[in-house]
């Protein structure tokens, strides 16, 4: 009997253990309450074809995109809708055709009389079966009737707009978002931006982290307002993926606090903690990224992991804690910068893709301005570009050219003259105009090609000419050997030196007034362009100390009345104050009409080459950084140290004053130099007379001795 009792007791223990809850990893799907989720990943919903317009150039162009079904689709609602815009010069037989899995489905005639149109393509048969399907859109454009008429001009084009979509009455394969999809999956559109959600009362460290991340993601899209900062109490609905950033204890909204709790983000001390979760509401869902740390300072210190492509492309998985801050590679080595450091991968251009993307880079502080520099290209090309057969068959006036645009200044490479390749690689040195580097040290780089398409309408060919640009191609910049050669900083240089990797950038908020997140983001976006990201600290006027700014480039929002640190250096500022008002008349402005103003000067706390920028206001305006004023500062190319915006939004600078004083300084220097030279001439002449006198004295003395 005891044996049976022991057996039953053992079975009960096993059942209890089996039924006990097992501790598992954090649940990756979270139910959302209090916030409306509009983003859809499921069935019978429209899915965008592209998040940016696609232009097809005539006479013939095409583009292919893909969709995947996890099961056979059913019903009659599956379709592709193309919203297009085309040149008004098109005539018959111009056409637009769509094929699915290499099977032609539909073609329509297009012309210039109706440049905007919507084309609906039903999806039927095998195109609704489980698996991956390819959709190819082909454009054929005609501008003029006749035999052997050239159609390949800049007026022959069709654009596939971003409101094109496909609708499938079946389960579309949902691409599970992971940290490896960052930053791609967290860049929205202007119509449906990605939100970066921060606490209503975020610490300066959390706000600084969010501003840097938002600027980085915005730069990935190349368009404004695709990523926006929003305070937790303002978020009502989600139309896109979302990022929650900050220390969980800083959040106060009950709905957001519940999301943090349900997300169960792993909290490792002294680390950046990242998690991806799916937010679900009925049939609708979206992806959320949680970015946090135990302390806001730990979060701020490790933001380069999310804003430096060197690190961000290494992210993976759904949960990740990063303790050690990786060492950032020095991008500029002896004045040399590769295209990869510009953010470019290997680039292939051909008859269909004639333009590359734009790539941006800020050259270092020790780069010598106004001197020519060199782009060392490593190229591959199709053999047909310079073949003897092609040169005889084509018009000799046909050129094949690679155009290197550096800050919109074109530089040409004749592809027909490439020679002396090594292992198929052609090394070409392209001298770059000295005027291409502006005072702000930003390089905007783009590659274009001409002549790769066979522009002979009487010759049909399937030849595809191409040029390949290796990402190891590099710029070589002249380096300043003497730091005294560096020019005085003006607004023409902005955002340099605040983008310089050589020093910390500190942004100081005013003591009393609030600065909107949008205005701060605009300022950060101006600083955080290009691949390299300077280290930025955000502090309040109460927090900042002289030690913080001693070796930094500093942006003060608010003048001495709002910045105690500036008040202590009032006598060293180039703009003086009389009470609460700036004395702008000393710089040639009418003080009474000035509303917003700013100046740039040497950092009075620094013994080096650091600078400060002060942005202030007076009068009725409450904004320190009104949008138009910020735009003028960012885009100014004048050699000015003080800029003013009047009450009627007119923009003035002291560029003439700076130019005049600079010339007076040069004249004074030359005058001093001439005076110095004159003095040496007098001393030299006097010395010569003395020497002649001594010689005469010695000669006479010898004669006198001989006579004796």
Domains 198-322 and 488-653 share a fold: yes
Least confident of 217-226, 424-433, 516-525, 679-688: 679-688
The pLDDT assigned to 672 comes to 47
pLDDT tens-digit map of 87-114: 999 999 999 999 999 999 999 999 998 9
Asked if the model's pLDDT at residue 590 lies above 80, the reply is: yes
Asked if the model's pLDDT at residue 699 lies above 80, the reply is: no
- By the 10 Å C-beta count (0-12 exposed, 13-18 middle, 19+ buried), 591 is classed as middle
The pLDDT assigned to 131 comes to 83
Asked if the model's pLDDT at residue 662 lies above 60, the reply is: no
pLDDT tens-digit map of 183-195: 988 988 777 889 9
Coil vs helix vs strand at 355: strand
DSSP alpha helices (H): ranges in 341-473? 388-393
Cα atoms found within 13 Å of the Cα of residue 323, Cβ hemisphere only: 5
Tokens of residue 605, six digits:
């706390």
* Domain range list for the chain: 46-167, 198-322, 336-481, 488-653, 667-708
Least confident of 4-8, 278-282, 352-356: 4-8
Taking 3-state DSSP, the helix, strand and coil percentages for the chain, each rounded to the nearest 5, stand at 25, 30, 40
Q: Does domain 336-481 have CATH number 1.10.3720.10?
A: no
pLDDT confidence bin for 416, thresholds 50/70/90? confident
pTM: 0.71
- Token pair 């200044």 is at which residue? 409
- C-alpha 535/C-alpha 528 separation (Å) is 10
Asked if the model's pLDDT at residue 162 lies above 50, the reply is: yes
- Token pair 């780069």 is at which residue? 367
**CATH (one of 1.10.645.10, 2.60.120.260, 2.50.20.10, 3.10.20.30) for 46-167:** 2.60.120.260
pLDDT confidence bin for 394, thresholds 50/70/90? low
Q: Does domain 488-653 have CATH number 3.30.379.20?
A: yes
- For the chain, what's the residue count? 708
The pLDDT assigned to 539 comes to 96
Asked if the model's pLDDT at residue 601 lies above 60, the reply is: yes
The pLDDT assigned to 45 comes to 62
Asked if the model's pLDDT at residue 578 lies above 60, the reply is: yes
Q: Does domain 198-322 have CATH number 3.10.590?
A: no
Cα atoms found within 13 Å of the Cα of residue 31, Cβ hemisphere only: 2
pLDDT confidence bin for 504, thresholds 50/70/90? confident
- C-alpha 502/C-alpha 601 separation (Å) is 18
- C-alpha 196/C-alpha 202 separation (Å) is 13
Coil vs helix vs strand at 505: strand
Which residues are paired to 231 by β-bridges? 198
Q: Is-contact 605 568, C-beta < 8 A?
A: no
- Report which of 364, 388, 177, 197 is spatially closest to residue 276, judged by C-alpha positions: 177
Share of the chain above pLDDT 90, in %: 41
Q: Is-contact 653 636, C-beta < 8 A?
A: yes
DSSP alpha helices (H): ranges in 142-234? 204-221
The pLDDT assigned to 362 comes to 79
Share of the chain above pLDDT 70, in %: 81
Q: Give the number of other Cβ atoms within 10 Å of residue 153's Cβ.
A: 16
**Once rounded to an integer, what is the mean pLDDT over residues 29-40?**
83
DSSP alpha helices (H): ranges in 302-453? 304-307, 309-312, 388-393
What mean pLDDT, rounded, does the chain reach?
82
């Amino acid at each position: 009997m005891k044996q049976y009792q022991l057996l039953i007791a053992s079975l009960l223990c096993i059942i209890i253990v089996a039924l006990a809850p097992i501790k598992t990893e954090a649940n990756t799907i979270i139910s959302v309450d209090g916030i409306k989720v509009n983003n859809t990943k499921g069935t019978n919903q429209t899915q965008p074809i592209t998040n940016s317009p696609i232009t097809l150039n005539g006479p013939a162009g095409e583009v292919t995109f893909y969709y995947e079904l996890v099961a056979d689709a059913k019903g009659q609602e599956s379709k592709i809708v193309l919203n297009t815009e085309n040149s008004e010069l098109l005539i018959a037989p111009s056409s637009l055709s769509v094929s699915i899995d290499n099977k032609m489905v539909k073609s329509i005639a297009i012309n210039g009389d109706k440049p905007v149109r919507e084309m609906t393509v039903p999806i039927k048969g095998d195109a609704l079966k489980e698996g991956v399907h390819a959709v190819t859109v082909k454009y054929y454009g005609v501008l003029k009737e006749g035999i052997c008429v050239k159609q390949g001009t800049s007026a022959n084009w069709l654009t596939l707009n971003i409101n094109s979509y496909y609708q499938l009455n079946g389960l579309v394969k949902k691409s599970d978002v992971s940290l490896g999809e960052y930053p791609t999956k967290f860049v929205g559109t202007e119509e449906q931006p990605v939100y970066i959600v921060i606490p209503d009362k975020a610490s300066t460290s959390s706000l600084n982290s969010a501003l840097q991340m938002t600027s980085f993601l915005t730069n990935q899209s190349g368009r404004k307002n695709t990523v926006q900062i929003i305070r937790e109490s303002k978020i009502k609905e989600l139309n896109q993926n979302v990022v929650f950033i900050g220390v969980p204890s800083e959040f106060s909204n009950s709905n957001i606090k519940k999301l943090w709790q349900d997300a169960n983000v792993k909290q490792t001390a002294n680390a950046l903690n990242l998690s991806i979760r799916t937010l679900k509401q009925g049939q609708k869902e979206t992806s959320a990224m949680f970015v946090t740390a135990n302390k806001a300072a730990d979060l701020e210190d490790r933001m380069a992991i999310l804003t430096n492509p060197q690190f961000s492309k290494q992210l993976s998985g759904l949960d990740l804690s990063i303790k050690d801050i990786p060492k950032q590679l020095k991008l500029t080595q002896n004045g040399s910068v590769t295209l990869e450091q510009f953010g470019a991968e290997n680039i292939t251009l051909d008859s269909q893709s004639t333009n590359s993307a734009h790539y941006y880079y800020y050259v270092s502080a020790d780069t010598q301005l106004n001197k020519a520099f060199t782009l060392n290209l490593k190229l591959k090309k199709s053999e047909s570009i310079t073949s003897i057969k092609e040169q005889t068959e084509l018009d000799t006036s046909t050129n094949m050219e690679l155009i290197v645009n550096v800050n919109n200044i074109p530089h040409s490479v004749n592809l027909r003259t490439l020679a002396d390749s090594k292992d198929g690689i052609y090394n070409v040195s392209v001298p770059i105009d000295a005027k291409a580097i502006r005072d702000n040290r930003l390089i905007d780089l783009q590659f274009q090609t001409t002549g790769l398409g066979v522009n002979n309408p009487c010759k049909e060919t399937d030849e595809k000419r191409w040029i390949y640009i290796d990402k190891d191609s590099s710029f070589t910049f002249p380096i300043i050997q003497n730091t005294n050669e560096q020019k005085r900083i003006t607004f023409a240089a902005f955002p340099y030196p605040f983008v310089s990797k050589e020093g910390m950038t500190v942004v100081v908020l005013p003591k009393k007034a609030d600065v909107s997140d949008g205005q701060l983001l605009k300022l950060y976006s101006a600083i955080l362009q290009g691949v390299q990201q300077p280290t930025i600290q955000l502090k309040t006027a109460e927090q900042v100390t002289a030690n913080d700014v001693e070796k930094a480039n500093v942006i003060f929002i608010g003048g001495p009345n709002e910045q105690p640190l500036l008040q202590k250096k009032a006598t060293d500022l180039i703009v003086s104050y009389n009470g609460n008002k700036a004395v702008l008349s000393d710089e040639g402005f009418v003080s009474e009409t000035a509303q917003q103003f700013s100046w740039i000067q040497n950092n009075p706390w620094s013994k080096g080459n650091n600078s400060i920028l002060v942005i202030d206001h007076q009068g009725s305006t409450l904004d320190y950084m009104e949008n138009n004023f910020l735009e003028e500062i960012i885009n100014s190319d004048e050699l000015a140290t003080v800029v003013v915006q009047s009450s009627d939004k007119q923009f003035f600078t002291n560029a003439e004053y700076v130019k005049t004083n600079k010339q007076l300084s040069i004249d004074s220097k030359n005058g001093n130099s001439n005076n110095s030279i004159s003095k040496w001439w007098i001393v030299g002449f006097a010395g010569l007379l003395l020497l002649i006198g001594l010689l005469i004295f010695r000669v006479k003395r010898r004669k006198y001795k001989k006579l004796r």
